[in-house]
Structures are given as C-alpha cells and as structure tokens.
Homo-oligomer: A and B are copies of this chain.
C-alpha cells in the first residue's frame, strides 16, 4: 500500500473514532452515564448476570477498566455485585431494577447516535456502511489478537 492511501485511511479512522466517541459521550451524559458504561449495561441486559472477566471480553477492554466501571455503576445503584458461588475468585455483576429502568432511554439514545452518525452520508447506503464496518471491525480484531499473541510472556 502506498503512503497516501495509508495516510487517508488512518486519518479517516482517527477522526471517525474521535467524533463518534464524542457524540456518544454527549448522548450518554444526558442519561447520567459516562462513555464505556453503556457497553456493560447493554451486555448485562442482553446476557444476564456476568462475571467481570466476561464483561471485559465482551467490551473488548482490560480488567482494570472493568473494575473501575463496575465500581462507578454500583455507586450509581445501576448494578449490583456478589461473589460467585462456584469460583471464589470471581465477582458476578447484575443489573438492578434501577439499571433496567435506563434501558429504554439508552436504546433511544443509541438510535439517535447512529442516525446522526450516518445523517451526512453522501454516497453510501446505511446497510453497506454497516456491512463494511463489520468487516473492518473483524479485521482489526484479528490484527489486535495477532499482535499480542506475538507478544511473549
């Protein structure tokens, strides 16, 4: 690949990441949430109670990030924690009633975010966009996995 293509690709991805994150943050602020917390709430809503390790895998981030996010969600009363009965190392996280009451607003906010994200597209259909982004997300996941498989212990 030549430099101009690489530059264009990386630059587009940088601005996409920053802008989408920023729009997401303003949507979530209206609900009293910070960015990152939504992915835990949605995962708990979809899958039921999960350990923090499962949440880390689902959210694609590292354990310390989960520790801190769960602590804050617990302080907000949106989530509860209890020790796992089967594995005494593990902590099971569960949505509280108050947490579930957020789900409706969260869905609306997420639709609004997606709509403003694609509102200004000039030559791409939304279905094609989603298709393309899924392909890219998968490619980046394998690139990331390959990278730290190559990183020794």
Residues of chain A whose beta carbon lies under 8 Å from any beta carbon of chain B: 1-3, 5-24, 26, 39, 42, 60-61, 107, 110-111, 113-124, 126, 128-144, 146-147
Contacts and interface: CB of A to CB of B under 8 A. Distances in A.
Contacts of A139: 117-122
A129 B22 contact: no
Contact of A19 (B15, B16, B140): B140
Contact of A12 (B11, B23, B130): B130
B147 A113 contact: no
Contact of A16 (B17, B24, B116, B124): B17
Nearest to A142: B120
Contacts of A143: 19, 23, 116-117, 119-120
Contact of A135 (B11, B13, B123): B123
Given A124-B135, A128-B132, 7 more contacts: A3-B111, A8-B130, A11-B137, A16-B17, A19-B60, A117-B136, A120-B143
